[in-house]
């Protein structure tokens, strides 16, 4: 039992070490890049680089940054595989998509990592 917990803990630490931060710039009426492809556990950080207050809000209600003044940031970690559309409700043309794809980590019943790639 202890060995299983230790192996699980090591796997969690390995996955955390692989996590990346992906930056998205919010301009006045756009997100750049508008589509980002990431792995589960990665974090997305939006920065308001515009001159006005902006916000990032998911279409399905998973997150809402609230109003961000110029220079402010908002970040979120994505753990679920899928495609997540978002927008700035006050700027109809400002929209984007976060695509979360599998990392390719496979684990045997013994807890050994067979493959690890990005």
Strand partners, 78: 42
Q: Which CATH class is domain 2-115?
A: mainly beta
92 pLDDT band, cuts 50/70/90, is confident
- Name the DSSP letter for residue 80: S
Helices (H) and strands (E) in the chain, counts: 1, 10
Q: Tell me the C-alpha distance between 118 and 116, whole Å.
A: 7
Query: 21: closest CA among 59, 58, 75, 69?
Result: 75
- CA 13 from centre of chain: 18
Sheet holding 57-58, edge to edge: 35-38, 91-100, 82-88, 57-58
What pLDDT sits at residue 29?
94
In the chain, where the domains are located: 2-115
Q: What is the pLDDT of residues 35-63, one digit of tens each?
A: 999 999 999 999 999 999 999 999 999 99
């Amino acid at each position: 039992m202890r060995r299983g917990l230790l192996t699980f803990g090591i796997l969690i630490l390995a996955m955390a070490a692989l996590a990346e931060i992906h930056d998205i710039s919010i301009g006045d009426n756009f997100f750049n890049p508008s589509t980002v492809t990431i792995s589960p556990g990665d974090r997305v950080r939006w920065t308001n680089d515009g001159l006005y207050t902006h916000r990032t809000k998911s279409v399905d209600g998973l997150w809402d940054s609230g109003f961000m003044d110029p220079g402010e940031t908002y970040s979120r970690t994505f753990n679920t595989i899928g495609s997540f559309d978002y927008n700035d409700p006050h700027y109809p043309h400002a929209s984007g998509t976060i695509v979360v794809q599998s990392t390719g980590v496979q684990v045997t019943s013994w807890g050994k990592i067979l493959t690890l790639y990005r």
